[in-house]
A and B are shown apart, each in its own frame.
Chain A
C-alpha cells in the first residue's frame, strides 16, 4: 500500500515546492468535496495531499483598488456569500458558486476546486467565464495569469503546467448598469450535477446592451465562452429576435454527449432556453428593475 502524506503548509511557496516535488502523485486539497469522493471510490490514490487552506491568500476575499474582487482559490461558497459586497456586484457568480452541492458542500467547496476538477458541468465555471475572470496560478516557474476559459482542457484536465497551483480569481471592476446571472437545468431542485449551465454577464445603458459575455456548461468537453451569443445580445434591447439569435448561437455551440444525465437533443435545446432566461435575469438586475 502506498503511504499517503498530508501537508498543510502556511505559505504559497512551501505549497508550490511540496506540490511540485511530489509530481503526479500529489493532489491539492481545498474543500475536498471532489477529492475525497474520488479517493473513497478508489478512482484516485494520491501519495501527497497539500491542504492549501492554511495559506492566507488562498482563503481571502479582497476588493481591489479599482473596484474589482480577488477571491482566493480555497474560499468556500458559504464564505463568499457572507461577504458584504460581493453578492451585490456579482450576484450571478455568487449564485453559481452556491449551487455547488448541498449546504454542507457549500461550506467547503470552492470555485477554485470547481475549476480545477475540470468537469464541464462545474456550476461556477460558466459564471466565471461570463464574468471575464482572470486566474492567477503559481508554479515552480513563478506566477502567471490566465483567462478562466483557458483553464479547462477537457473532462478532468486543465491547462496548468506541472506543479502549478491555482491561487485566485480576479473579477474586473463593474461599470454602471452591469450585472450577471447563472441558471442551470437539473432534474431535481437540488443536489444534481448540471445538465446544462448558463452564465450571462451584461452591461446596459438606456435599455441597450453595451457589453455581454456568455458562458455555457455541460454541453461540450469544456465550459464554453459563446462569443456569438454575446454578439447577438450586444447592441440589442434584449428583444425577442436578439434573444432568439443568442439562444440559437448557444444551441449551435453545443457539442454535448448522451449520458445518464441528459441527451444530446435535450442539452442542445435547453442551452438556448437557459440563455433567454439567464439574460432576462441579468438584465433585470443590471437595470435595477
Chain B
C-alpha cells in the first residue's frame, strides 16, 4: 500500500507522519509517532484505554483512521501534564491510589479531563456514567471515581 502523508497537531505541536490508509489513529500514535501512552486493549472501542481527544472531543483512537487527523488537533495522555507540572487529576490519582496496574490509567485520565472540562461539578453518577467506556479490571473503580470527584472539588475551589 502506498503510504499517506498526514499533517496534524498533536499535544499542541505541529506534526507530520506517514501511515497506511487503513491504520487507526492508535496505530499511528503508537507507531510512527512513538506515543505509546495510549494503549490497545480491545481495538473495538469497548475498553477506552486508547482514549484521546480530537478537537477537544473525547474519542477512542482505535475507532478513528489516522488519515482523519489531517488538519485536526489531537491530544493524548502525553500532553496532559504541563512540562514537569502534573495535571491535578494526575496528582490526585497518585495520591489516592487510583491506579494499580496502570494500563487503563492513560485513558481514564484523558476521559476524566474531558469530563471536567465539560462539567466541572459532576455528581458521582455522572462520573460513573462518563467513565463507563473506560474499563478497569484492577480497582473496582472506587478510588478512580473518588479521585475525579476530589480533583473537581479542588479545581472549583481555585
Interface string of B26-54 (1 = CB under 8 A from A): 00000000000000000111101001001
B64 touches A3 (CB 8 A): no
A104 touches B111 (CB 8 A): yes
Which one of A31-39, A55-63, A269-277 contacts B? A31-39
Contacts of A4 in B (CB 8 A): 1, 20-22
A102 to B51, CA, bound (A): 11
Contacts of B70 in A (CB 8 A): 8
Q: A195: CB under 8 A from chain B?
A: no
Q: How far is the CB of B48 from chain A (nearest CB, A)?
A: 6
Q: Which residues between 57 and 79 of chain B lie within 8 Å of chain A, taking CB atoms?
A: 57-60, 62-65, 67-68, 70
A190 touches B129 (CB 8 A): yes
Interface string of B109-122 (1 = CB under 8 A from A): 00100110000000
Contacts of B22 in A (CB 8 A): 4, 39
Q: Give chain A's interface residue range (CB within 8 Å of chain B).
A: 20 to 34
Contacts of A105 in B (CB 8 A): 45, 60, 63, 133
Q: Which residues between 4 and 31 of chain B lie within 8 Å of chain A, taking CB atoms?
A: 4, 20-22, 24
Interface string of A101-115 (1 = CB under 8 A from B): 111110110000000
Q: B132: CB under 8 A from chain A?
A: yes
A32 to B132, CA, bound (A): 20
B133 touches A1 (CB 8 A): no
Q: How far is the CB of B30 from chain A (nearest CB, A)?
A: 14
Q: B2: CB under 8 A from chain A?
A: yes
Contacts of B134 in A (CB 8 A): 102
User: What is the chain B residue whose CB lies nearest that of A190?
Assistant: B132
A248 to B140, CA, bound (A): 40
A36 touches B57 (CB 8 A): no
Interface string of B99-130 (1 = CB under 8 A from A): 00000000000010011000000000000011
B2 touches A104 (CB 8 A): no
B64 touches A108 (CB 8 A): yes
Contacts of A95 in B (CB 8 A): none
User: What is the chain B residue whose CB lies nearest that of A78?
Assistant: B57
Interface of B is mostly: mixed
User: What is the chain A residue whose CB lies nearest that of B68?
Assistant: A51
Q: A29: CB under 8 A from chain B?
A: yes
Q: Could you say which of B48, B62, B67, B129 contacts A36, with CB atoms under 8 Å apart?
A: B62
Q: A84: CB under 8 A from chain B?
A: no
A40 to B2, CA, bound (A): 19
Contacts of A108 in B (CB 8 A): 57, 59-60, 63-64
Contacts of A5 in B (CB 8 A): 21
B63 touches A37 (CB 8 A): yes
Q: How far is the CB of B44 from chain A (nearest CB, A)?
A: 5
B44 touches A41 (CB 8 A): yes
Q: How far is the CB of A122 from chain B (nearest CB, A)?
A: 15
A32 touches B64 (CB 8 A): yes
A161 to B23, CA, bound (A): 30
A40 to B50, CA, bound (A): 15
A240 to B46, CA, bound (A): 39
Contacts of A8 in B (CB 8 A): 67-68, 70
Known: A37-B43, A37-B63, A108-B57; 17 extra A-B contacts, CB below 8 A, are A1-B1, A3-B1, A6-B21, A29-B68, A32-B63, A36-B63, A37-B45, A101-B133, A102-B134, A103-B114, A103-B130, A103-B133, A104-B48, A104-B59, A105-B45, A108-B60, A191-B133
- Give 17 A-B contacts (CB < 8 Å), ordered by A residue: A1-B1, A4-B22, A5-B21, A6-B4, A6-B67, A8-B70, A33-B45, A36-B65, A37-B44, A41-B44, A51-B68, A102-B45, A103-B115, A104-B51, A104-B59, A107-B59, A108-B63
Interface residues of B (CB under 8 A from A): 1-2, 4, 20-22, 24, 43-46, 48, 51, 54, 57-60, 62-65, 67-68, 70, 111, 114-115, 129-130, 132-134
